[in-house]
C-alpha cells in the first residue's frame, strides 16, 4: 500500500493519446529493448489527453525560463504486465549488483525488495490501486538540449537509492565546503529544480522519491495536491 492507495478514483474517461512531436522521445524505448511485454502495436509514449495538454504547458514554461532546454520523455503509459516485468527485472539486477541470490529467501533479498519498492509501484491488478503509469497519468522525463543531447541530472532515471531523491544533491552540497564537487552537486540540484518548477507550474505532482516522475490526475497527484479523488484509474489497454 502507498499513502495514496486509499484515495477514490472517478475516472473521467479521457483517451490515451500519442505524445506530440513537440516533446522529445528517448528512443529506443529502454523497457521495450529489455523485452517488456507491451503487446503488438502498443506504444509506451502515450498519456491521457489532459495530461498531454499539461505536458505541453510544462515545456512552454521550461523554455520561457531556460530556452536552451526541452523536455525528454523516458517513459509514459505502462501496462501492468510491463510493471510486473520491470519490478522482477529490477530486483534481479539489484540482487546481482549486491551478490544476492534472487531465488533464495534471505534478509539480503528482503532488503533488495524493500529498496526496489521505494521506486517501483506494486504491479497491482486491482482497479482501486493501479500503478501510476498504468493510468496514463504519470510520466518519467528529464531535460535535453535543443539538439537532443540529454542534460546531466546527477543520476540515471530508475537508479535505486537516495541519489534519486529530488533534493539529494542540495543536502549533499550543504555538507561540503566550497569546491568542484559542491559546485557539481548544486548544478545537478538546479537542473532538477528547473524541471520541477516547469512541471509544477503546469499542475503536475512529483513522486517523493524520484526526481524524474511526475503525474497529473492519478492517486499520487491527488494525495500530493489535496484533491478528494483521482481523475484517472487504470487505462484500458486496448486504447
Q: What is the pLDDT of residues 3-61, one digit of tens each?
A: 999 999 999 999 999 999 999 999 999 999 999 999 887 899 999 999 999 999 999 99
Residue 34: name the closest of 98, 74, 85, 73 by CA. Answer: 85
Q: pLDDT tens digits for 186-215?
A: 999 999 999 999 999 999 999 999 999 999
Is the pLDDT at 109 greater than 50, yes or no?
yes
CB of 61 closer than 8 Å to CB of 197: yes
Rounded Cα gap, residues 71 and 19, in angstroms: 12
Q: Which CATH architecture has domain 16-225?
A: 2-Layer Sandwich (3.30)
Terminal CA-CA length for the chain: 27
Neighbouring residues of 123: CB distance < 8 A, sequence distance ≥ 6: 80, 81, 83, 84, 87, 131
Share of residues in the chain with pLDDT > 70 (%): 99
Angle, alpha carbons 139-92-169 (nearest 5°): 50
Q: How far is residue 98 from each of residues 101, 102, 117, 152, measured CA to CA in Å?
A: 9, 10, 16, 26
Boundaries of every domain in the chain? 16-225
Q: What mean pLDDT value characterizes the chain? A: 96
Is the pLDDT at 238 greater than 70, yes or no?
no
Rounded Cα gap, residues 182 and 187, in angstroms: 9
Selected catalytic residue, list 27, 210, 228, 237: 210
CB of 221 closer than 8 Å to CB of 2: no
| pLDDT attached to residue 236 | 86
Angle, alpha carbons 200-204-210 (nearest 5°): 90
**Residue 239: pLDDT band by 50, 70, 90 thresholds?**
very low
CB of 130 closer than 8 Å to CB of 138: no
Give the distance from CA 86 to its chain's centroid.
13
Confirm whether pTM is higher than 0.85. yes
Q: pLDDT tens digits for 155-168?
A: 999 999 999 999 99
Active site residue 210: yes
Amino acid at each position: 500500500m502507498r499513502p495514496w492507495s486509499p484515495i477514490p478514483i472517478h475516472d473521467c474517461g479521457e483517451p490515451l493519446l500519442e505524445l506530440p512531436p513537440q516533446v522529445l522521445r528517448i528512443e529506443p524505448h529502454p523497457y521495450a529493448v529489455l523485452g517488456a511485454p507491451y503487446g503488438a502495436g502498443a506504444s509506451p509514449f502515450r498519456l491521457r489527453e489532459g495530461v498531454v495538454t499539461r505536458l505541453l504547458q510544462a515545456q512552454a514554461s521550461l523554455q520561457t525560463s531556460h530556452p536552451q532546454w526541452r523536455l525528454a520523455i523516458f517513459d509514459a503509459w505502462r501496462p501492468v504486465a510491463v510493471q510486473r516485468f520491470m519490478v522482477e527485472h529490477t530486483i534481479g539486477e539489484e540482487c546481482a549488483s549486491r551478490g544476492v541470490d534472487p531465488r533464495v529467501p534471505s534478509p539480503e533479498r528482503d532488503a533488495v525488495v524493500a529498496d526496489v519498492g521505494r521506486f517501483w509501484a506494486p504491479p497491482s491488478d486491482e482497479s482501486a490501486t493501479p500503478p501510476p503509469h498504468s493510468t496514463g497519468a504519470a510520466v518519467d522525463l528529464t531535460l535535453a538540449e535543443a539538439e537532443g543531447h540529454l542534460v546531466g541530472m546527477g543520476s540515471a532515471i530508475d537508479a535505486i537509492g537516495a541519489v534519486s531523491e529530488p533534493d539529494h544533491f542540495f543536502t549533499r552540497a550543504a555538507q561540503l565546503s566550497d569546491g568542484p564537487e559542491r559546485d557539481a552537486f548544486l548544478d545537478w540540484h538546479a537542473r532538477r529544480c528547473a524541471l520541477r518548477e516547469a512541471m509544477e507550474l503546469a499542475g503536475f505532482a512529483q513522486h517523493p522519491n524520484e526526481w524524474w516522475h511526475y503525474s497529473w490526475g492519478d492517486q499520487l497527484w491527488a494525495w500530493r495536491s489535496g484533491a478528494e479523488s483521482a481523475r484517472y484509474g487504470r487505462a484500458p489497454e486496448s486504447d
